[in-house]
Structure 1
Amino acid sequence: MTDIRWEDAFCGEGNNCFRIGTDTEGNGYIAVAGAEDRPLTDTREALRTLILDIKAGKADHLL
């Protein structure tokens, strides 16, 4: 199993919490807090792009 280093949980309104993690092989992970054993995974660059796009408001229509 890959050793993932998880960041502290981020909780939005309504306590929708998720965590972001990385491993030593350059992969990025995102998981619902408490379900870190079932993360989505991609490269760190893809995760970085996702976060920047969310911060830029490009995902607001999904909410």
Structure 2
Amino acid sequence: MSGCTERWATTFRSIAQLVLLDITELYDYPPPDLAEFLYLEAQQPAPSRVTLLGAGNAELCSGF
């Protein structure tokens, strides 16, 4: 399962980086540091994300 998640995350980062680079080129902004942004988001998730994670964990662990 972890390998699948890692591959998905790598693919997402690659595509997201390409989209962000296109946007920055179009609007003449410097490219953002996507890795840093994702790291900071993981360290301080939004309240709605915490709720979603809790609901997902509760559902996944309900059979144990």
So what's the TM-score if we normalise by structure 2? 0.31
More helix by share: 2
Larger-gyration structure (1/2): 2
More strand by share: 1
So what's the TM-score if we normalise by structure 1? 0.31
